[in-house]
Amino acid sequence: MGELLQGINLQNVPNHIAIIMDGNGRWAKGKGMQRVFGHKNALTAVREAVAGASDIGAKFITLYAFSTENWNRPKLEVDALMSLLVSSLKKELPGFQENGIKINSIGNTEQLPKKAQKVLAEVIDATKDNTTITLTFALSYGAREEIVNAIKNISKKVVNNELDIEKINEKIINNHLYTFNLPDVDLMIRTSGEQRISNFLLWQMAYAELYFTEVLWPDFRREHLFEAIINYQNRERRFGKTSEQVTENE
């Protein structure tokens, strides 16, 4: 792992890393256990990913913890996930404080059970002054729903003459998204070998680099994050420009 870290250019790390934590169910099934077992064993991967991001100086990491579509899963699994969310936030709070981790959430969190909402709000408030890294949990999150809500809220302002339709631009839209206080995503990592975005941060990942790994999420460790960072650094991010233009601006 030390060699991997040494191979990273700390002057060119992604500011915002987003992760689709996939493979918990398959990991559990491979061990002859129920899916919930995989979710419970995913916490180490979360700690490792956040610690790795902090090691390289990334300032934001967003984890796709529970999507709007996940509500359609069996009730037993959903209840277990909500219970795990509550217990994990309580258990990890001392570590968040010790390591300067600021907790944030995005999504329709009003759909979460009241107890989960309460604990989440308490942890967000307790860590609001931490500055090392911002850890955002996407909970009851769906990018299409996020964009629809933004359009509705912007439309209301236009109808109420609070906003001139000609003034609507990318900044206005950004300010009406759940992620209004976060920068665009630079690197998106998805574990388990699946290669799709699954309704995650569609607007925010417009120019993100996408990295897919076969590693199942419960097995994800710091070195896997570093491998993704090295892969990211070996790419040319052009943002619509030509290679020559990018070179000229360096």
**Residue 23 annotated as binding site:** yes
CA distance 226 to 229: 5
CA distance 32 to 90: 29
**Residue 47 annotated as binding site:** no
Where residue 141 falls (left for φ over 0; alpha for ψ -120 to 50; beta otherwise) is beta
**Residue 26 annotated as binding site:** yes
CA distance 187 to 200: 13
Is 129 an active-site residue?
no
**Most distant CA atoms of the chain, gap in Å:** 60
**Residue 217 annotated as binding site:** no
Is residue 92 within 8 A of residue 126, CB to CB? The reply is no
**Residue 22 annotated as binding site:** yes
**Residue 24 annotated as binding site:** yes
Could you give the C-alpha distances from 133 to 56, 172, 188, in angstroms and in order? 11, 26, 17
**Residue 69 annotated as binding site:** yes
Strand residues in 82-218 grouped as ranges (E): 101-106, 133-141, 187-190, 209-212
**Residue 197 annotated as binding site:** yes
The token duo for 201 is 């941060």
Measure the N-to-C terminal CA separation of the chain; round to a whole number of Å. 30
**Residue 25 annotated as binding site:** yes
The token duo for 59 is 């300032």
**Residue 27 annotated as binding site:** yes
Is 149 an active-site residue?
no
Catalytic residue among 15, 70, 108, 149: 70
**Residue 203 annotated as binding site:** no
**Residue 67 annotated as binding site:** yes
CA distance 51 to 45: 10
The token duo for 186 is 């630079």
Annotated binding site: 22-27, 35, 39, 67-69, 71, 73, 190, 196-198, 209
Annotated binding site for Mg(2+): 22, 209
Residues assigned a catalytic role = 22, 70
Annotated binding site for substrate: 23-27, 35, 39, 67-69, 71, 73, 190, 196-198
